[in-house]
């Protein structure tokens, strides 16, 4: 049976997933899964700052190039992730950003100059700023703040205009790129997600009103079963974004179970699939045409490595379309049905 990439394509939907070069190289089944299921790739690590510029002025493109080469052979487009983010920053960068505004602007320019030029022929869509919004006080998500903007080394060095500066720099360097702002924690039906939606919309309105070159919003969609989901508020939120003239992408879909995950595998898989279908069919009806999951197989999901979301009894997460042995799970069918 056709993979998710092919099934999406006939419905006008581009489906892809986050990929890691080391796994493409080591695991033939992983390679085959991407060849079979994906029509689009995003490097899970290889285009982050610490990967691309581990030391000031020394760019290491080997990991990203490995993914770009594989993608070229497989004829898959690649999204860029992420130019400005408060994580995956090398220590030297954090220290240098403390040295003042001009130093910070110089580093931003040098990084954008090199990276956007290097990847120009293959990456046409970049997450320019990732996760700029603070989680509201009282949220069960970490990194809370009185808001709206998250307190990061970039904010401290450049003030709130760091976002605008990054988008303008990207547009200047390549006017044909699709420039995306990527965010999480805005999908579900909880008071903190509602507040985070308001914060994000206020930022987007401000950027658009002032003519800042932004084209799209990426919604990460690291969903949690412990947080309820209702289509109405999420669809209204997407309609507001699209009303600003911005596209919406789902960029990092996966589904976390709760500590109360029932031991029964079939029951767990059914709950995950149900959530995936409710969420994605809502997104697609609201006009989303690009969907990426954060990995394809439970075998290598980042959820496994995040101690904050460990499941009892050492149970592994089952939040991706394929299980640890690359078998299609109910979530796979749920994603297919939502296209
Ligand atoms: C995660 C990777 O999956 C992990 O392997 C890594 O250790 C940390 O970063 N939001 C993002 C992604 O935008 O870059 C994160 O990726 C997951 C959350």
CATH assignment of the domain containing 62? 3.20.20.80
Distances (CA, A) of 261 to 142, 268, 275, 297: 22, 7, 14, 19
Is position 44 annotated as part of the catalytic site?
A: no
Residues found in the chain: 339
Q: Ligand 1: which atom is nearest the Cα of residue 20?
A: 5
What does pLDDT average to over the chain?
Answer: 96
In the DSSP assignment, the letter for residue 264 is -
Q: Is 58 helix (H, G, I), strand (E, B) or coil?
A: strand
Q: Alpha-carbon torsion 252, 109, 144, 215, what sign?
A: negative
For 85, residues 6+ apart whose C-beta sits below 8 A from its C-beta are: 48, 49, 127, 129, 130, 131
> What domain range includes position 319?
4-338
Instruction: Measure 211 CA to ligand 1 centroid, in angstroms.
Output: 30
pLDDT the model gives residue 228: 96
**Cα diameter, the chain:** 57
The answer on pLDDT for 260 being more than 90 is: no
Least confident of 126-140, 299-313, 319-333: 299-313
Catalytic position from the list 183, 252, 257, 277: 252
Residue with the nearest Cα to atom 3 of ligand 1?
A: 302
What are the tens digits of pLDDT across the range 68-106?
999 999 999 999 999 999 999 999 999 999 999 999 999
Token pair, residue 111, equals: 């990084």
Q: What is the ipTM of this complex?
A: 0.99
pLDDT digits (tens, 9 = 90+) for 270-322: 999 999 999 999 999 999 999 999 999 999 999 987 766 778 777 889 999 99
Helix (H, G, I), strand (E, B) or coil at 128: strand
Query: What is the atom index within ligand 1 of the atom nearest the CA of 127?
Result: 13
User: How many domains are there within the chain?
Assistant: 1
Task: Give kind and range of the element (H or E) at residue 113.
Answer: helix 101-118
- The Cα-based distances of 268 to 171, 259, 264, 292, 317 in angstroms read 44, 12, 6, 22, 10
């Amino acid at each position: 049976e056709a993979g998710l990439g092919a099934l999406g394509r006939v419905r006008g939907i581009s489906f892809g997933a986050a990929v890691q070069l080391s796994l493409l190289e080591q695991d033939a089944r992983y390679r085959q899964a991407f060849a079979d299921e994906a029509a689009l790739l995003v490097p899970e690590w290889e285009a982050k700052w610490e990967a691309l510029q581990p030391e000031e002025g020394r760019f290491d493109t080997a990991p990203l190039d490995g993914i770009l080469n594989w993608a070229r052979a497989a004829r898959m487009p690649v999204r860029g992730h992420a130019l400005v983010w408060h994580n995956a920053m090398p220590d030297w960068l954090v220290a240098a950003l403390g040295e003042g505004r001009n130093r910070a602007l110089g580093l931003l320019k040098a990084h954008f100059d090199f990276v956007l030029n290097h990847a120009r022929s293959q990456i046409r869509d970049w997450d320019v700023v990732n996760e700029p919004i603070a989680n509201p006080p009282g949220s069960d998500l970490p990194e809370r703040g009185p808001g709206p903007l998250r307190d990061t080394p970039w904010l401290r060095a450049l003030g709130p205009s760091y976002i605008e500066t990054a988008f303008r720099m990207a547009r200047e360097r390549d006017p044909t790129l699709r420039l995306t702002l990527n965010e999480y924690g805005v999908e579900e039906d909880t008071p903190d997600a509602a507040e985070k939606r308001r914060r994000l919309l206020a930022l987007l309105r401000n950027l658009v009103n002032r003519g800042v070159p932004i084209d799209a919003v990426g919604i990460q969609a690291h969903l949690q079963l412990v947080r309820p989901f209702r289509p109405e508020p999420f669809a209204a939120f997407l309609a507001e974004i699209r009303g600003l003239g911005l596209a919406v992408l789902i960029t990092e879909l996966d589904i976390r179970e709760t500590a109360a995950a029932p031991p029964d595998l079939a029951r767990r898989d059914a709950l995950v699939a149900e959530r995936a279908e409710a969420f994605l069919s809502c997104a697609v009806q609201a006009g989303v045409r690009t969907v990426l999951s954060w990995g394809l197989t439970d075998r290598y999901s980042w959820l496994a490595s995040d101690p904050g979301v460990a499941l009892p009894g050492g149970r592994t997460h089952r939040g991706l379309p394929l299980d640890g042995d690359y078998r299609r799970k109910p979530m796979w069918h749920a994603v297919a049905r939502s296209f």
